[in-house]
Structure 1
Amino acid sequence: MARYHIETYGCTSNRGESREIERRLRDAGHHRVGGPDEADVAILNTCTVVEKTERNMLRRAEELATETADLYITGCMALAQGEEFADAEVDGEVLHWDEVPQAVTNGECPTTTPDAEPVLDGVVGILPIARGCMSDCSYCITKHATGKIESPPIEENVRKARALIHAGAKEIRITGQDTGVYGWDQGKRTLHELLERICAIDGEFRVRVGMANPKGVHGIREDLADVFVENDELYDFLHAPVQSGSNDVLGDMRRQHQVGEYLEVVDTFDERLEYWTLSTDFIVGFPTETDDDHRKSLELLRETRPEKVNVTRFSKRPGTDAADMKGLGGTLKKERSKEMSKLKRELVGEAYESMVGETRPNCLVVEEGVGDSVKCRDSAYRQLIVQHASDHGLEPGDFVDLEVTAHETMYAFAEPV
């Protein structure tokens, strides 16, 4: 797990985003340290109110880049003037704030504690369904903490989901190191059965399935896709991290799946679902990744056109087999990361642009946003922002039909119909 240092500048909104970043990092088993000199990763949440502030942000970014192995820059200046950091040759990666936690994890699985219990955060219920995984990735340190999959009975998880819904949860987030292999330790994969049981609970709510590695999903892909089709409670959203478009690199990563299996999962969902969101992850700059391997990853990204993509620059984790490999240079990893991130923004932006003018029915208001706004999710878990929420009487937990009016790269704006 990573040791992180985070610094936040600017308004209350920035501080709120930093708190959410830290919450996700803690949930994934990472811990905060006293300063950048003790950290594996530094996070700089920036402000851009005046020119003097911008100069301070650039100077602080340059300092942090020399003090830690990896620097992630987010916040107002990063998103509005990201080119300033590139022009200053700051060795850091500019990300939207909600991309930071995944980047810090280096493509590793999230890590829950042995006694992880459901958590209700506003109208969102977090339900860890299992602990551990069936993978042995060469770059991942998480497996040392979690071990192999341990799946509680379906009935136990249904009981926990029912308790969250009765307590006021309108969105249940199914989490685990690898949700796709739930039940493997009991003799068969039963994620689809668990989801069907949870969706049958009385009440109006939505269910989002967390990260499921392609290998685990592949064997149940048809049953799983059918459950999505048959249950409106399920967001039509699948997070299947492919990590590379090269079978050679996947082999060196010991990822268990090959590109063809990932494509078969995507094809199955495409055949059964007219409107859904594919989310995936890529690790850029793995020690054995060649220029041709990187090209294959870009081609796979273009072919499958996921609507949510996490791009992570490889960094070594102590005690892992990949840590003993001769690494690629930081400049090369940075260039490949920039190229893939640029393509990602184009593809995701096009997906949100295509929504403009459409009406998305029965969207869930999930949480308050910046100022007088709320964040909503449509049936495919796409993020829609409604401004002037109080004028519309919208609060977290409400369901509302929304017309998409405009878009940014990672989300769209909408108004109630």
Structure 2
Amino acid sequence: MSRTDPKSYFVKSFGCQMNVYDGERMAELLDAKGLSPADDADAADLVVLNTCHIREKAAEKVYSDIGRMRRDDGSTPMIAVAGCVAQAEGAEIPRRAREVDIVVGPQAYHNLPELVAKAARGENALDTDMPADSKFGALPKRAKQAPSAFLTVQEGCDKFCTYCVVPYTRGAEISRPWAAIVDEAKALVDAGAKEITLLGQNVNAWAAEDASGTMQGLDGLIRALDGITGLERIRYTTSHPNDMTDGLIAAHAEVETLMPYLHLPVQSGSDPILKAMNRSHSAESYLKIIERMRAARPDIAISGDFIVGFPGESDSDFEATLDIVRATNYSQAFSFKYSARPGTPAAEMTDDFIPAELADERLQRLQALLNEQQMAFNEQTVGMRTRLLLERDGRKPGQRIGKSPWLQSVHLETDAAIGTMVDVDIVSAGPKSLGGALARKEAA
């Protein structure tokens, strides 16, 4: 069916930080075509659902969201399904949900304005190609930014973990060129960003030639970005243990703007389960990386990812996961029950599935330990003085929220402007955030 050309849009992003980045870039594409952002989906002529395929029943949740797009008068906005579910489901989406006008995968969203125009003419608007040419050259230059910004430097994955759909939805590992990243970083800082988080499915696999033709890894890129005037902080995520190089570990000791925080997923503490997952590290090699990181940067905060209930996981395998948690002592972590993803090798391991009740019990035990460690990490910062980047207003009048160097949310009362770097004394700790007070200047 034909549609009226939309005048306003709303982008709803799910899942990982790379999806947040992609959502921002799609919004910039639509801005460049003269569309105006709406406050919510109900007020928009075009709604973009920027989907994630990592969570359980991701596709079904998208169809549920589509169903909620119908308005009181029976109409629906123009609906675009983007992201990894779009890549995985493809033409099945408009077959199941006739309200959907556009389907666009994560490697083709630079074509979104053209697809919107096709949908308005009633033409087929589906693009799930993974072209050899990078989409980034077709994206507009970065516009106004928040104090903290994401910058994608690497996409795709060649690791083929048996539980993961990323190689199929995001494609092979691709590193963006050096000059393009440096230019975008400078543009982000010029537009107001003081902190940049470098993104990639395997961000520490990034490699490219610098301006002199010398091959660089992520550590070389970080050292170059460290020279940008006005850039106060650098972070990166998500890392793979197999790509933690000597140079990257050294950068944590030597680059002042590189924050003392590392997200390094291990997934399991059991070597047999890691092998079944096709992870290229062992529990021992992972712990050696953590040991080296703490030797280089003693105050570093370690975050991780865990999957419990993977097919074949025994009681002793799960206990090994608890052991590696105790040995690492995490500041934060994300933990999930295993759920099969169609098309992945692990989905075929049907004889070894773990009963849901047992997986639930294991997840609760794991999360109790992780929550205990996170609370202890937060409590040990009470009484410390640190630098805070104010990012947004809090819920209370006069309250600001910012991030500590260790990626903790800190609440404090101040009239300092958003985007300001302030010295703060940590005065209280909760399980998810800290309380702070502006540091008083020492008397002369």
Amino acid of the residue matched to residue 394 of structure 1? A
Could you tell me how far 1:187 is from its partner in structure 2? Answer: 11
What is the distance in 1 between the residues matched to 2:410 and 2:58?
39
Q: 1:344: Cα distance to partner?
A: 0.6
CA distance in structure 1 between the aligned counterparts of 2:342 and 2:395, rounded to whole angstroms = 38
Q: Paired residue for 1:278?
A: 302
Q: Which residue of 2 aligns with 1:255?
A: 279
Give the number of aligned pairs.
323
Aligned residue identity for 1:158: V
Instruction: Give the AA of the match of 2:241.
Output: P
Q: After superposition, where does 1:396-407 map in structure 2 within 5 Å?
A: 396-407=418-429
Q: Corresponding residue for 2:226?
A: 199
* Structure 2 residue 420 is the aligned partner of structure 1 residue 394: no
Instruction: Say if 1:119 and 1:287 are closer, same or farther in 2 by CA, change over 3 A.
Output: farther
Q: Contact 1:119–1:126 at 8 Å: present in 2 too?
A: no
CA distance in 2, matches of 1:147, 1:272: 34
Query: Could you tell me whether the CA contact under 8 Å between 1:120 and 1:126 is conserved in 2?
Result: no
Contact 2:177 / 2:208 at 8 angstroms: preserved in 1? Answer: no
Task: Give distance in 1, aligned partners of 2:174 and 2:219.
Answer: 17
2:38 corresponds in structure 1 to none
Check 1:121–1:295 CA distance in 2 against 1; reply closer, same or farther (3 A cut): farther
Aligned position for 2:405: 379
The letter for the 2-side match of 1:393 is D
Instruction: Flag the 1:23–1:347 CA change in 2: closer, same or farther, 3 A.
Output: closer
- Is the Cα contact below 8 Å between 1:355 and 1:404 reproduced in 2? yes
Which amino acid in 2 is paired with 1:30? T
Tell whether the 8 Å contact from 2:162 to 2:278 is kept in structure 1 after alignment: yes
> Take 2:215 and 2:421, find their aligned partners in 1: how far apart are those partners?
36
Code of the residue aligned with 2:270 in structure 1: it is: S
Q: Does the CA contact (< 8 Å) of 1:122 and 1:169 recur in 2?
A: yes
Quickly say closer, same or farther: Cα 1:181–1:233, change in 2 above 3 A: same
Provide TM-score, normalisation by structure 1.
0.71
Contact kept in structure 2, 1:139 and 1:323, CA below 8 Å: yes
Cα deviation per residue 1:147-175 (whole Å; 9 max; x = unaligned)?
22111222221111111111111111111
Q: Shift of the alpha carbon at 1:41?
A: 8.5
The higher radius of gyration belongs to 2
| Structure 2 residue 330 is the aligned partner of structure 1 residue 293 | no
Distance of 1:23 and 1:379 partners within structure 2: 21
Q: Does structure 2 conserve the Cα–Cα contact (< 8 Å) formed by 1:174 and 1:210?
A: yes
Match of 2:4 in 1: none
2:199, 2:237 within 8 Å by CA — same for their partners in 1?
Answer: yes
Letter aligned with residue 399 of structure 1: M
Q: CA deviation at 1:291?
A: 0.6
Q: Deviations over 1:314-337 (max 9, x none)?
A: 101111111111221111111010
Q: Is the 8 A contact 1:174 1:207 kept in 2?
A: yes
Aligned residues of 2:162 and 2:277 also touching (Cα < 8 A): yes
Task: Give the % identical residues.
Answer: 25
Q: Secondary structure at the match of 1:234?
A: coil
Map Cα deviations across residues 318-369 of structure 1 (whole Å, 9 max, x no partner).
Answer: 1111111122111111101000000011000001111111111x22112223
Aligned match of 1:365: 390
Q: CA deviation at 1:228?
A: 1.9
The residue correspondences of 1:23-172 to structure 2 (distance < 5 A) are 26-27=19-20, 30=51, 39=60, 115=135, 121-172=145-196
Matched to 2:181, the amino acid is: N
RMSD of the TM alignment (CA)? 2.9
Give the structure-2-normalised TM-score. 0.67
Higher relative contact order (CA 8 A, sep 6+): 1
Q: Does 1:351 align with 2:377?
A: yes
- Give yes or no for contact 2:145–2:192 (8 Å, CA) kept in 1: no
8 Å contact 2:262–2:302 — kept in the other structure? yes
What per-residue deviation string (whole Å, max 9, x for no partner) do you get for residues 261-292 of structure 1?
21121111110112111111111110121110
- Distance in 2, matches of 1:40 and 1:325, equals 24
Counterparts of 1:188 and 1:297 in 2: how far apart (Å)?
A: 37
Contact 2:274 2:281 (8 Å CA) reproduced? yes
The equivalent position to 1:211 in structure 2, one of 230, 238, 242, is: 238
Residues 412, 311 of structure 1: alpha-carbon distance in 2 compared, 3 angstrom cutoff: same
Change (3 A) 1:250 1:42: farther
Tell me how far apart the structure 2 counterparts of residues 225 and 119 of structure 1 sit (CA, whole Å).
33
Structure 1 gaps, min length 5: 1-17, 45-110
Per the alignment, residue 366 of structure 2 pairs with 340
Deviation readout 1:221-243 (Å, 9 max, x if unpaired): x3112212222211111111000
SS of 1:39's partner is helix
Flag the 1:301–1:43 CA change in 2: closer, same or farther, 3 A: farther
Q: CA deviation at 1:196?
A: 0.6
Cα deviation, 1:160-199, whole Å, max 9, x if unaligned, reads: 1111111111111111111111118999760100111111
Tell me, which stretches of 5 or more residues in structure 2 are unaligned? 1-10, 23-49, 66-105, 110-133, 440-444
Cross-structure match for 2:126:
none
Q: Once the 2 structures are TM-superposed, how far is the Cα of residue 375 of structure 1 from its aligned partner?
A: 2.1
Partner Cα separation in structure 2 for residue 167 and residue 23 of structure 1: 24
- Separation in 1, partners of 2:285, 2:144: 35
Letter in 2 for 1:209: Y
| Superimposed CA distance per residue, residues 62-84 of structure 1 (whole angstroms, 9 cap, x where no aligned partner) | xxxxxxxxxxxxxxxxxxxxxxx
Label 1:180 to 1:204 Cα distance change in 2 as closer, same or farther (>3 A): closer
* Aligned twin of 2:354: 328
Looking at structure 1, the residues matched to 232 and 406 of structure 2 have their Cα atoms a distance apart, in angstroms, of 14
Query: Can you list the C-alpha shifts for 1:53-104, whole angstroms capped at 9, x where unaligned?
Result: xxxxxxxxxxxxxxxxxxxxxxxxxxxxxxxxxxxxxxxxxxxxxxxxxxxx
Q: What SS is found at the alignment partner of 2:401?
A: strand
Contact 2:307 2:335 in 1 (8 A): yes
* Letter of the 1:332 counterpart: L
Does the residue aligned with 1:266 lie in a helix, a strand or coil?
A: helix
Q: Tell me which residue corresponds to 2:5.
A: none
